[in-house]
Amino acid sequence: MKKFKFSLEKVLIHRQINVDLAQKDFSDAVTERNLEQKKLNDMIDLKNKSLDERTQMVQQTVNWTLAVEQINSFILGQDLRIKNQTLRLKKFENIVESKREILRQSVSEVKILEKLKEKQQQAYLVEVAKAEQDELDELSVLRFSRIDNLIKGSHEDGI
């Protein structure tokens, strides 16, 4: 009997390639999101350092008004940059989620085809086993009838 061949093998391979591409896109999106998150964290850290510097300046210096005014301006600008970066980060989060959904869908499609292939392969193996058993049964019947004919023939011939 001929070897098992899955009729949708090319479709399965194509979908596996799609999974690989979706995995790469997802990974790239996660990397970009992490970079944007790092930028946001750096901005927040810089703002916090400026707040600490302002507090120290007020406590340690007598003529602090001009320096504190500059720090306050920087903090206001930094708050605006943080707000913009947070919005940008949300966009990247949405991109990551959409890439994750595409990846999940691609993996699901591959699993469906793999299950179908497995079922067809099991059915093929059952069919092969049945065909082998039928062939063995046929050989056994032929062998038995040949032996039976020899025995009957020898008695009937008077031998």
pLDDT tens track for 119-154: 999 999 999 999 899 888 888 887 777 666 666 655
CA 112 distance to own-chain centroid: 14
Question: Per-residue pLDDT for 155 more than 60?
Answer: no
| Exposure string for 24-58, b = 16+ CB within 10 A, e = fewer | ebbeebeeebeebeeebeebeeebeebeeebeeee
Give the pLDDT band of residue 101 (cuts 50, 70, 90).
Answer: very high
Q: Is 9-117 assigned to CATH 3.30.300.30?
A: no
Q: What is the pTM of this model?
A: 0.71
Q: Of 2, 9, 24, whose CA–CA distance to 117 is shortest?
A: 9
